[in-house]
Amino acid sequence: MMQLQVIRQDKSKHPFMRGMLAHKLMQRGLSFDQAYQISKDAKSYFQEKTEVTSDSLMQSVDELIVARYGKELLRTLISELFPSGKQICVFRRNATSPFSKGLLTQSITAAGIKPEEAYKIAFDLEADLIKKDILRISKKKLFEEVFSTIKKKYSPHLAGLYKLASRIDELDRPVIIYLAGASGTGKSVMSTFLAGRLGINKITGT
């Protein structure tokens, strides 16, 4: 069976990978379990095709999200910009990235907190920042807010685990993790899982 190729707007073709799609869905706000499930659904949905445009893929993914989780969740994911037209930005040194509930949720689960509870922490934190009109926050300050919440809501022990898991983000040197294996063994899925747990926000498939 030929591997599904995704045709981007610049006409370039790239192989469809469940892990990469799951990573993108987590950036939109889905939990790891939700993103992984939708990526599996998408693979099954397109199993008879050899090519699909990126626009068609994302449209179908939205339909799959509605079918499995409902329209309300999809509306939350689509609303990446706040009603004011502004967006929370997280910065560290010279790098800036948009606030992502999905990625923050994954970093919180590294402390042993259930995904649904971790997502609520991320959701409440985002709502609090918007309420206070804080649309730019350092990664260090964001970590401190999460650390404090976990310590108060759960225990100093879990907060300590979160701090330990987050230390990788404080390293001055780049961290590169290389996963190898035969096709179809779950490399992209595992890389997505590791990236979420370790706070690595870039995955490259080869």
The predicted pLDDT at position 177 comes to 84
For residues 7 and 111, give the distance between their C-alpha atoms in angstroms, rounded to a whole number: 38
The predicted pLDDT at position 201 comes to 66
The predicted pLDDT at position 120 comes to 82
- Cα 101 to its chain centre, rounded Å, is 7
For the beta sheet containing 89-92, the strands, ordered from the edge strand earlier in sequence to the opposite edge, are 95-98, 89-92, 136-138
The predicted pLDDT at position 2 comes to 64
The predicted pLDDT at position 1 comes to 52
Inter-helix orientation angle 32-45/101-109, to 10°:
120
Residue 160 contacts residue 112 (beta carbons within 8 Å): no
What's the pTM value of the predicted model, to 2 decimals? 0.50
- Phi-psi category of 61—alpha, beta or left, where left has phi over 0 and alpha has psi -120 to 50? alpha
Dihedral sign, CA of 10, 15, 21, 24?
Answer: negative
The predicted pLDDT at position 82 comes to 38
Burial of 13 (0-12, 13-18, 19+ CB in 10 A): exposed
Q: Tens of pLDDT along 50-71?
A: 899 988 888 899 999 999 999 8
The predicted pLDDT at position 84 comes to 46
Q: Which ranges of the chain have pLDDT less than 70?
A: 1-2, 78-86, 169-170, 196-199, 201, 206
Strand-pair partners of 91: 96, 138
The predicted pLDDT at position 54 comes to 85
